[in-house]
């Protein structure tokens, strides 16, 4: 896998691209129609921009799809069409936060173009941002990804069945992002009922760790809320496939819709106001909820 394509080089994608470049790979992308932020991240990571997907599929040995889950199937279809145009079929890896069923739909798109498909799920921050980045992979042939193990991230094989990596990612994010939305929902309910301050005071006595987590995370959620709506919907779909209740993560998606409508949602991870307090954030979140409920 000498030449690797990243679609698209957002926060996670450009971090993985940077790590792969540091290990000697030629990393390419296609920025046609992408935002100025994405272009800036790609440039910072040293990714080489190609004019279109047909050229990209002709040049790349491996394509990593890393983008909001709502775009996963459309991206796979576009790349599959480009493969048919170029006559090339690089290995395609879907690294997005999608349900096992959505992953299989992506695999059908890619398989229709005659390319190998690997199901993958990323856990952790982007390489270089602290902690360990792990990419779980599943499918009949995950060797192309396993060969990248240790190149800025860990690759963890989960077997030959497509969808296993996505299933693990969905369950994991069901806890992490699900907890953040539960925290937000509880705090918002307190604000709306007029006991927000008293609730936080009680948490300070009896739930110190939970309150510390709320202060650390809840004010920062709007910057990612728009793309996490789809992830919560994919988690709910995963739970439905498993026969588990779906309502909690459908509610989590609604929490993110509220946050995505606040002024803070215009921030990015680069422009995030890290000085914003939990109380300041809750005031704005409650204002948006009142608009929605007419209260």
**Residues 110, 215: one domain?**
no
Q: What is the CATH number of the domain that holds 34?
A: 3.40.50.720
pLDDT for 107:
98
* pLDDT tens-place values along the chain, 295 residues long: 689 999 999 999 999 999 999 999 999 999 998 999 999 999 999 999 999 999 999 999 999 999 999 999 999 999 999 999 999 999 999 999 999 999 999 999 999 999 999 999 999 999 989 889 999 999 999 999 999 999 999 999 999 999 999 999 999 999 999 999 999 999 999 999 999 999 999 999 999 999 999 999 999 999 999 999 999 999 999 999 999 999 999 999 999 999 999 999 999 989 999 999 999 999 999 999 999 999 7
**Residues 99, 119: one domain?**
yes
**Residues 154, 13: one domain?**
yes
pTM higher than the cut 0.85: yes
Q: Which domain holds residue 10?
A: 3-161
**Residues 228, 148: one domain?**
no
Residues 6+ apart with CB under 8 A from 104: 162, 163
Residues 6+ apart with CB under 8 A from 223: 264, 265, 267, 268, 269, 272
The count of structural domains within the chain is: 2
Q: Where among 137, 161, 185 does a domain terminate?
A: 161
pLDDT for 295:
77
pLDDT for 1:
61
**Residues 9, 128: one domain?**
yes
Q: Where among 161, 179, 214 does a domain terminate?
A: 161
**Residues 140, 255: one domain?**
no
**Residues 118, 231: one domain?**
no
Closest CA to 145 of 256, 25, 252: 25
**Residues 141, 245: one domain?**
no
Structure tokens at 290: 């009142």
155 forms beta bridges with: 135
Evaluate whether 119 touches 164 at the Cβ level (below 8 Å): yes
**Residues 146, 33: one domain?**
yes
**Residues 156, 171: one domain?**
no
Distance of CA 77 to the CA centre of its chain: 19
Q: What is the CATH number of the domain that holds 241?
A: 1.10.1040.10
**Residues 233, 131: one domain?**
no
Q: Where among 161, 195, 220 does a domain terminate?
A: 161
pLDDT for 187:
98
């Amino acid at each position: 896998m000498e030449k690797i394509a990243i679609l698209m080089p957002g926060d996670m994608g450009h971090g993985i691209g940077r790590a792969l470049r540091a290990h000697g790979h030629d990393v390419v992308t296609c920025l046609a129609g992408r935002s100025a932020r994405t272009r800036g991240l790609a440039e910072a990571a040293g990714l080489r921009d190609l004019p279109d997907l047909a050229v990209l599929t002709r040049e790349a040995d491996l394509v990593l799809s890393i983008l909001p889950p709502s775009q996963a199937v459309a991206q796979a279809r576009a790349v599959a069409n480009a493969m048919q145009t170029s006559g090339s079929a690089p290995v395609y890896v879907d690294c997005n936060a999608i349900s096992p069923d959505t992953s299989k739909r992506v695999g059908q798109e890619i398989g229709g173009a005659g390319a190998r498909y690997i199901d993958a799920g990323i856990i952790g921050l982007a390489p270089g941002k602290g902690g360990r980045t792990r990419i779980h992979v599943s499918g009949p042939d995950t060797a192309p990804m396993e060969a990248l193990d240790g190149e800025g991230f860990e690759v963890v094989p989960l077997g030959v069945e497509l969808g296993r990596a996505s299933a693990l990612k969905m369950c994991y994010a069901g806890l992490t992002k699900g907890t953040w939305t539960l925290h937000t929902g509880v705090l918002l309910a307190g604000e709306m009922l007029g006991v927000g301050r008293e609730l936080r005071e009680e948490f300070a006595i009896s739930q110190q760790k939970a309150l510390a987590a709320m202060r650390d995370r809840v004010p920062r959620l709007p910057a990612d809320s728009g793309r996490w709506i789809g992830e919560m919907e994919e988690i709910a779909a995963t739970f439905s496939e498993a026969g588990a209740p779906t309502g909690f993560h459908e509610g989590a998606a609604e929490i993110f819709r509220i946050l995505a409508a606040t002024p803070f949602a215009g921030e990015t991870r680069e422009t995030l106001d890290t000085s914003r307090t939990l109380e300041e954030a809750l005031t704005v979140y409650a204002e948006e909820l009142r608009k929605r409920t007419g209260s």
